[in-house]
Structure 1
Amino acid sequence: MKVAVICGSHELYLDEKALADQFIIGVDRGAFHLLERGISPDLAIGDFDSVTPEEYDAVSQATRELIHLPCEKDETDTEAALNLALQRGASEVTLYGALGGRIDHTLANIRLLLQFVKKGLYVQLVGEKNRLTVLSKGEHHLEATAFKYLSFFALESTVTHLTLKNVKYPLVNYTLAQDDIRCISNETLGADYQVKFESGYLLMISSCD
């Protein structure tokens, strides 16, 4: 099951065409912003401390299922939404509205990519000009998109034997440490490309101008 999680502001980017085939979760105020765009989420979750009583009523009436979380808790609303998606059988999650804004929230959302790839759930953060995901060890054949710029960063530990094929700047068996920024601003060549490594977790950022 493909799931879209929306947790952003008025300026959030949405691929509304892709949403048609996905189970939609609105997180806190993200649920209300979906309603403003004429989209009723399948589920709304959050502590809803960022909506007015009137907005909360609108969300509760338009949403098929609503889960109201306490304001004081150990996990963020977005983390709770991802855990719920995993529990309900999600195989892939696209997370909108998780980039920009407060830097601590953005960094926390990037850390969620790492947390959930360890649980076997592929999560992608999508904005208007950036897409982020974390890859686990192995061989990945990836499709080139309009987001042609590629940057790679080691997360948590060193990434070993990193090989990049069919990109502007190929790489073979490179050791990428956490403080190494050599793998920034590569480019796709308009066709599928390959990322392969033997250990660690790799943050991949695809960007466009």
Structure 2
Amino acid sequence: MAKQRILIFSGGHLGPWALNEIEPGDFLLGVERGALYLIYHGFQPDFAMGDFDSVTPQEQILIKQGSKQFWSCDPVDKNETDTELAFTWALDQNPQEILLLGVLGSRLDHSLANVHLLVKGIAAGIPCRIVDEKNQVQLLNDTLHMQKSRFPQISLLPLTPEVQGVTLSGFQYPLDNVTLALGQSLGISNILLGANGTIRITSGLLLAIQSSD
């Protein structure tokens, strides 16, 4: 695979906003109903994978026929969710970036597990983002440059017990070498003053969540 972005379409909440994220040259990886969503909207998944226990036999045939590659696994004899299997496969391709779409939904356990997948992206050194209609989620362990987007609110939440050396520039509420502890709300609801801003930390893992009301 050429160095390109991989967009993972999973079976959570999806909408036109997700299709708007597709750019020419992107590799489209459909997971379960995410593959079906792409096909129903005129996109051919480059790869469809999962155990397909959330689709009917007829829908599975449609996915298999409508995808360039297809892989099905046993729904019982596995230790990972379908989204984690797809994400691990995507990391192995060493892409330019991974975008996770449809990985947030009504199941809080699945949503949190998918946010935690970003830790594997950090370990692999591959930029990863979770995007849905109202949020964009990134994880950093050093520096993150942010640009003004359709998500004006920016919140910072530790994913480790402490995140040290948090320094913000270009934000309405700046921080200088602050320690954020798990359970604190100090990093909630900031905004960029201009077009760009920078978040720097010296240790720990910090979630940067951009949101719109």
Pick the TM interval, shorter chain. over 0.9
Name the count of aligned residue pairs: 208
Deviations 1:111-157 (A, max 9, x none): 111232122222211011100111112x3222221211000011123
- SS of aligned partner of 1:81: helix
Deviation at 1:195, TM superposition (A): 0.4
Q: Equivalent pairs: percent with the same residue?
A: 38
User: What is the CA–CA distance in structure 1 between the aligned matches of 2:92 and 2:30, rounded to whole Å?
Assistant: 16
Query: How far, CA to CA, are the matches of 1:165 and 1:85 in structure 2?
Result: 33
- The equivalences for 1:123-138 within 5 A come to 123-137=128-142
Contact 1:10 1:33 in 2 (8 A): no
- TM-score of the two chains, using structure 1 as the length reference: 0.94
Question: d(CA) in 2 for partners of 1:16 and 1:96?
Answer: 11
Cα-to-partner distance string for 1:160-190 (whole Å, 9 max, x where unaligned): 1100111110110100111211100001123
- In 2, Cα distance between equivalents of 1:114 and 1:166: 26
Deviations 1:82-127 (A, max 9, x none): 1111112213111111112211111111111123212222221101
Secondary structure, aligned partner of 2:185: coil
Per the alignment, residue 5 of structure 1 pairs with 8
Q: Which residue of 2 aligns with 1:77?
A: 82
Gaps of at least 5 residues in structure 1 are none
Q: Answer yes or no: is the 8 Å Cα contact 2:98–2:127 preserved in 1.
A: yes
For the 8 Å contact 2:12–2:105, the answer to whether it is kept is no
Matches of 2:21 and 2:160, distance apart in 1: 35
Query: Once superposed, what is the RMSD of the aligned Cα atoms?
Result: 1.5
Change (3 A) 1:134 1:206: same
C-alpha distance in 2 between matches for 1:89 and 1:197:
25
